[in-house]
């Protein structure tokens, strides 16, 4: 039995009857003028406070427009596949373009092969089409090879670069938001590619909690959110009402140690962690409300490598996140267009075979 849910009840015996009310000198009669005046003032104060709260709540709800957020940010969200040629191990996730030249931030576990204990040899990035149709071949037509630049297993962050042609137009960018301005209860959206769901799926929710040193890793600070996140959402953005990325979706909790099902407990790495890590790797980024490099200004990219977790010198804190508040649950707003990872990788393999066949044909023509 869980004693947390047992209320302590005392004094079950027979209670004595309360003493009769007595008139006391100087007491104001309930319906006197003075009494009515005091009640009236209190009532109007209460009504005014209620109206102010209602207006603020309505204004906050009106400011949050998931459809507009999706339309303005989804182009900056990419599908990522990673695998080794000829191997069964493979991975799929989501990423966000954070630089016009094609820098993409995602989770380390999306591009890291846990069997070989090294990054996958091949990384592909797919841009969102003008319209997601549910046809896997059409929806993944804008594919690029990508190169791993930086990796931190402990922070679960990775930076990859889209291998685009020189002179290509700049990619649409998703800017970082300052997580210090985010409060518990703030509305957010998540965009990603959940397993058994649709590509570029939009879900909504709220910030449920804030946790420091998540998984006992110093500096790995996260938000807990009830926005629906599943496998395939890894590395994707958690976006605020202004259309800026407040966190990077990373972990989910679905089952307790004793087998009890857990719902709506998801964790996203705060944007401040990503900004600090990128800066330590030689990639300076500013929050959306601060000064940023001028459009078209190129960033000097450092050498690639694996970046360790910044040593904060602090003792990790053990903190447990409370469950999210009850209320309207997270909603999936995009039309369901199911796909499977097997179909996606089968398509990638087919494209590779077609490419090799074309290359062989060209070589034969040159020989003869």
Residues 84-105 pLDDT 10s: 887 777 889 999 999 999 999 9
Measured in whole angstroms, the distance separating CA 175 from the mean position of its chain's CA atoms is 13
Determine whether domain 66-347 maps to CATH 2.40.10.120.
Answer: yes
Residues 272, 276, 281, 285, CA torsion sign? positive
pLDDT, average across residues 145-159: 96
Dihedral (CA of 204, 208, 213, 219) sign: positive
Question: Quick one: tokens of 247?
Answer: 């966190």
Burial letters 28-61, b for 16+ CB under 10 A, else e? eeeeeeeeeeeeeeeeeeeeeeeeeeeeeeeeee
pTM above 0.75, yes or no: no
- Residue that wins the pLDDT comparison between 340 and 258: 258
Q: Would the CA dihedral through 345, 111, 126, 227 be positive or negative?
A: positive
| Helix or strand (DSSP H, E) at 273 | helix 271-280
- Is there a contact between 91 and 103 (Cβ–Cβ < 8 Å)? no
**With 80 as the cut, is the pLDDT of residue 56 above it?**
no
Distances in whole angstroms, Cα of residue 119 to Cα of each of 176, 246, 305, 306: 26, 26, 11, 10
Active-site annotation, residues: 109, 156, 234
Count the neighbouring beta carbons within 10 Å of the beta carbon of residue 5: 6
d(CA 255, CA 22): 60
Please state the domain extents for the chain. 66-347
Which region holds residue 140: left if phi is over 0, alpha if psi is between -120 and 50, else beta?
Answer: alpha
> Residues for the chain: how many in total?
368
- Asked if the model's pLDDT at residue 309 lies above 70, the reply is no
Average pLDDT of 338-348? 59
């Amino acid at each position: 039995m869980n004693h947390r849910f047992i209320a302590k009840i005392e004094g079950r015996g027979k209670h004595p009857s309360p003493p009769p009310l007595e008139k006391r000198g100087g007491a104001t009669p309930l319906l006197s003028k003075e009494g009515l005046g005091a009640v009236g003032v209190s009532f109007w104060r209460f009504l005014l406070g209620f109206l102010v709260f209602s207006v603020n709540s309505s204004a906050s709800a009106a400011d949050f427009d998931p459809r507009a957020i999706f339309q303005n940010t989804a182009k900056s969200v990419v599908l990522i596949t990673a695998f080794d040629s000829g191997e069964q191990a493979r991975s799929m996730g989501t990423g966000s373009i954070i630089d016009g030249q094609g820098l993409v931030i995602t989770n380390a576990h999306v591009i890291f092969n846990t069997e070989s204990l090294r990054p996958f040899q091949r990384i592909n990035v797919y841009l969102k089409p003008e319209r997601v149709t549910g046809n896997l071949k059409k929806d993944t037509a804008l594919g690029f090879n990508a190169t791993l630049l930086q990796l931190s297993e402990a922070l679960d962050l990775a930076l990859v670069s889209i291998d685009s042609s020189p002179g290509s137009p700049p990619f649409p960018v998703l800017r970082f938001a300052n997580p210090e301005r985010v409060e518990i209860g703030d509305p957010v959206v998540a965009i990603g590619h959940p397993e058994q769901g649709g590509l570029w799926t939009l879900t909504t929710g709220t910030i449920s909690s804030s946790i420091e040193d998540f998984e006992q890793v110093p500096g790995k600070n996260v938000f807990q959110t009830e926005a629906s996140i599943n496998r395939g959402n890894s590395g994707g953005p958690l976006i605020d009402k202004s259309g800026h990325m407040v966190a990077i979706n990373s972990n989910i909790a679905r089952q307790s140690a004793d087998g009890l099902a857990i719902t709506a407990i998801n964790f996203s790495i705060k944007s401040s962690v990503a900004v600090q890590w990128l800066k330590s790797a030689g990639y300076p980024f500013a929050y959306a409300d601060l000064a940023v490099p001028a459009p078209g200004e190129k960033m000097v990219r450092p050498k690639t490598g694996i970046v360790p977790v910044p040593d904060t010198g602090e003792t990790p804190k053990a903190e447990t996140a409370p469950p999210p508040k009850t209320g309207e649950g997270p909603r999936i707003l995009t039309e369901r267009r199911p796909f499977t990872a097997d179909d996606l990788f089968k398509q990638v393999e087919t494209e590779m075979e077609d490419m090799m066949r074309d290359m062989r044909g060209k070589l034969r023509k040159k020989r003869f």
